[in-house]
Amino acid sequence: MTTRSYELAPMQRTIETAFDEGALGLSSGLEHFPGNATATDELVELCKVAAKHTGPA
């Protein structure tokens, strides 16, 4: 299943907001449904947002 850009943008904003508010990482739950049905390209795009944050100093 491919994620459409209009679906991906809100997810990316949610991740960005979470890191801005102090999140330390991103969890995908790939071992459980519906996470195990997530398209690789979607995960890559969401991880790109998380990768911009270096974590706690």
Mind listing the pLDDT tens digit for each residue in 20-53? 999 999 998 889 888 888 889 999 999 999 999 9
Please give the pLDDT value at position 43: 93
Please give the pLDDT value at position 9: 94
CA angle 57, 30, 20 (to 5 degrees): 30
More confident residue, 38 or 56: 38
Please give the pLDDT value at position 56: 62
| Helices (H), ranges, 1-57 | 5-20, 40-51
Sequence length of the chain is 57
Query: In the predicted model, is pLDDT for residue 55 greater than 70?
Result: no
More confident residue, 55 or 50: 50
